[in-house]
Amino acid sequence: MQKRRLGRTDLLVSKICLGSMTWGQQNTSAEGHAQMDLAFERGVNFIDTAELYPIPPKAETQGHTETIIGSWIKARGNRDRVVLATKVVGRTANEWFRGGRPSRLVRVDIFDAIDKSLARLGTDYVDLYQIHWPDRDVPWGANPTRIGGTQLRADSPGGEETPIGETLAVFDELVKAGKIRHLGLSNEGSWGIMRFLAESDKGVGPRAVSLQNAYNLVNRTFEVNLAEVCAREDISLLAYSPLAQGYLTGKYDHGARPAGSRSQLFNRGQRYETANAAEVLLEYNELARSFGVEPALFAGAYVVSRPFVTSSIVGATSVAQLETALAAADVIWTEEMQKAVDAVHQRVGNPCP
C-alpha cells in the first residue's frame, strides 16, 4: 500500500489508517486483533486510537481500546513497524478521565493522560499525540457551515480556555521526555491551526504535523479554508469518517436501521441526520451504484483519491467491512466520477458538517 509523508516528519504512513473506536465495546479484543492482523497484511502501518475510546464513551469502558492495541503489539512484537497515534481529550466535564475531576489541556491533565495511554498501549512512546478537540468554545468539528450567537466569543458561556501557548509548552516537555514524537490536532479550525503554528514558530513548543478532521462526500468543509492552510503549512489531513458513520454504505437508505448497526445500537448519528441528509446520502449512494460500485467502496475511494488527504481513517466492526474499506485504496477514481460527485455537491453543499 502506498505510503505518504506525515507533515514535515520522516514518518511515512499508509494512505489508509486503521481506526479503532469500536474495539472494547462493539468488538472484542480478539476481533480487534483480527482486524489489525488483516490491515497489516495488506500494507497498513498506521493505527489511530484515543484515551476516549471506545465509542460511545463510558466510564466503565474508557481506555479499553488502547489496552487491546497494546496487547496486540506485545503479542506480535512489532512496535517498531507500527506508526501509533493516540489522543488526549480536550476540555470536558466528564470526570472519569482524571479520577474524579473535569479535564483541561493543562500540564497535570496532559501528563496524566499520556502516562495512562502509554501504560495501556504497553509502549514508551507514541509517534503522534493528538489533541482530540480544542480547549475553547467552538462548534464540534470546528469548521461549521453556520455559527450560533455566542460561539467563537472568548467571553461566551463556558468560554474560559487554556492558552494555546501553555498547552504547547507541555507538549514540548513530552517530546523532550521521549514520550511522544510529534503533535497532531483534531476537530480544529483554521484559526486554531494558525495559532498553534504561530506559537511554535516563536519556539514555544513542537510544530503540529497533522490535522484529524471529518471529511467525506457529505462534509467537504475542509476544502473551504483548511485545505489552503494545510497545504501551505505542510499539515497532513488525516480524514476521519470517510463513510459518514456508515450512512454512505447504503445500509441506512430509506430509513433502514439494521440490527447491530451503530445507528440502531446508539443514539449518536445526529451529525448525519440533519434535515435533508437522508435525501443527499441516498443520492450519493445511488450515484455509486450507477457506476457499478457499491456505495461503501465508492465513498472510501473518493476520500483516498483526494490529493490533500494523507491518510483516510477507516473503522469496521467486522473483517468483511474492513476488507471493503481496504479495497478502496485500489479503486481507480476517474474524472467522470469526480465530475458527477462535484455536480451533486454544487447543488447540495455540505449537509453534515
Q: What separation in angstroms does the CA of 95 have from each of 98, 133, 192?
A: 6, 16, 25
Cα–Cα distance for residue pair 52/57, rounded to 1 Å = 6
Single-letter amino acid, residue 186: S
Radius of gyration of the chain from Cα atoms?
Answer: 19
Nearest to 284 by CA among 248, 257, 254, 314: 248
Q: Which three cell numbers stand for residue 291?
A: 457506476
In the block, cell 497545504 appears at 231
* Alpha-helical runs (H) found in 44-163: 64-76, 107-121
User: How far is the C-alpha of 3 from the C-alpha of 23, rounded, in Å?
Assistant: 25
The cell numbers describing 272, all together, are: 448525519
Q: Is 114 exposed, middle or buried (0-12, 13-18, 19+ CB in 10 A)?
A: buried
Residues constituting the chain: 353
Please give the Cα distance from 317 to 27 (Å, whole number).
6
Q: At what angle do helices 295-305 and 319-327 cross, to 10 degrees?
A: 50
Provide the annotated active-site residues: 53
